[in-house]
Amino acid sequence: MRVATAERAARVEVTTGGAVRGTVWHDALIAWLGQRIVLIALIWLWQSLTSTPTLRSIYRTGVVWDGRLYGDIARGGYHELWQAAFYPLFPLLERALASLTGGNAEIAGLVVANAASLGVFALLRLLVARDLGVRVARLTLVYLALFPTSMFLAAAYTEALFLLLAVAAFVALQRERWLLAGLLAALATLTRATGLVLLLPLALTAYAALRPCWRGLGARERLRAIAPVALAALLPLVAFAALQIGLSLAYGVPGASSRAESQFWGRSLDWPWVGLVRSAQLVAASFPSTAGMDLLFALLWLALAGSMLLPRAPRLPATYIAYTWGALLLAMAAPVHTPGESPLVSIARYMLVAFPCFVRLAQWGAASRVARYVMLAASAGQFVALSWLFAHSRFIA
C-alpha cells in the first residue's frame, strides 16, 4: 500500500511539468548548498584549532592528492606513465575551463566537480521520485549529502562528474532514449572504467522494453527495434577500447593503463574476496590501521548491496541492483597488492557512485523514524570526524 501511494505521488509530480522542475531544483539546491555550508564551516573550525584558516587554506583541501594529479594532466597532458591510470574527461574539462579561472586547472576542477554535483542532486531527485516516490527521493539526497566521504563531491575529484553522467544515463534509460544513454555511458567510461557497468542497466531496460512485443515483430521490425540499443551498447565499448589503444600508442607500451595501475599504484585484477581477506589480515596484525577503515566501508557497501537481494526487503528496480553489484565487484576486483598497503584503499570514495545504496538507506529511513534518525546521526557523525582529516589535507580515500 505504501509503495502504491509513493508511485501515485511520483506520477502526480511528474505530470505537473514546470512546477515539478522547480521543486526538483529547489530540493537539489538545498542539499547541495547545505552540504557545502556544513563542510566549509567544519573545515574552518578544524583549521582554526591548529592555525588561522584562510580562503587559500580552505581551497587547498579540495585540490590535494588526486586533485593535483588531475591538474598536472590538464596542464601538460599525458607525458608520464603513471598518468595513464587517470582517465581523460575530467582533466579535459579542467583544461577547457582553465582560461576562465586564470589558467588555474585546480580551480577549474573545483568548478567542474561542484557544478556536476548540483546536477547530480537534481537528476537523482528526479530519477528516484519517478521510480520510488518523492519522499524516498528527498531522503536519498540527504543521505548522499551527509555520507562520511561525500566531501569528495565538492573536491576536484571525478566522483561528482561520473555520478552526474551515470544518473543522467539512468534518466535517459527511464525514457528509453537509447542513444543518449549510450553516449552518457561512453562519457562516463572516459571518466572512470566503472562506466562500463552502465551496460548492465542498459541491457535490463532494453530487455524489459522489447520483450512484450518481440514475438509479434517481423525480422525487419526486430532489427529496427534492436539497432539503437545495440549502437548505444557499442558506444561505451568503443570509448573504452579507443582510450586503451590511444594510451598504449602514446606511451609505446601495450596495456599502458593497466601497467600504470600495477607499477605505480599497486593495483591488479584479482578475485573480489582477496582484498577483504588481506584487509582482515592487516587489521589483525596492526589494529588500528587504514586497512581497518577501508574494510569497514567495504563491508558496509556489501551489506547495502546484499540487502537489495533479500526477498522481503523494500523493492528496488533491477537496474539499480545490477548497477550497484557491478560497481562493487569492479571496485573489489582490483585490490592493491603492495605489501603493507591497504588492499581496499579508496573504496569508501569509489563507491559513492553507487547511488542505489543511498536509495536503500532512504527507503529504510522512510519506513521508520527511528531508523531514519539513527542512520542520519551515524552518518553525520562520521562525516564530522572525517572532515577533520579532510581539513588538514590528510588522506582519507
> Closest by alpha carbon to 153, among 128, 118, 186?
118
Q: pLDDT for 186-243, tens place per residue?
A: 999 999 999 999 999 999 999 999 998 888 888 888 889 899 999 999 999 999 999 9
Residue 162 buriedness (CB in 10 A; 0-12 / 13-18 / 19+): buried
* Segments of the chain assigned E as strands: none
335: left (phi over 0), alpha (psi -120 to 50) or beta: beta
From the centroid of its chain, how far is CA 203?
20
Q: pLDDT for 27-64, tens place per residue?
A: 999 999 999 999 999 999 999 999 999 999 999 999 99
Mean of the per-residue pLDDT values of the chain? 93
Backbone φ and ψ for 309, nearest 5 degrees, come out as -100, -10
Q: Is the dihedral of CA 172, 175, 179, 185 positive or negative?
A: positive
Q: pLDDT for 111-138, tens place per residue?
A: 999 999 999 999 999 999 999 999 999 9
Query: Do 257 and 317 form a contact (C-beta atoms < 8 A)?
Result: no
Q: pLDDT for 370-381, tens place per residue?
A: 999 999 999 999
* pLDDT above 90 as % of the chain: 88
Q: What is the pLDDT of residue 12?
A: 47
Q: In angstroms, rounded to a whole number, what is the distance separating the alpha carbons of residues 187 and 191?
A: 6
Q: pLDDT for 60-81, tens place per residue?
A: 999 999 999 999 999 999 999 9
pLDDT band at 312 (very low <50, low <70, confident <90, very high): confident
Q: What is the pLDDT of residue 4?
A: 46
- Count of CB atoms situated within 10 Å of the CB of 311: 5
List helix spans (H) across 146-289: 159-174, 178-189, 199-214, 219-251, 256-265, 272-285
Q: What is the pLDDT of residue 340?
A: 86
Q: In angstroms, rounded to a whole number, what is the distance separating the alpha carbons of residues 95 and 108?
A: 8
Residue 282 has pLDDT above 70, yes or no: yes
pLDDT band at 170 (very low <50, low <70, confident <90, very high): very high
Residue 16 has pLDDT above 60, yes or no: no
Backbone φ and ψ for 29, nearest 5 degrees, come out as -65, -40
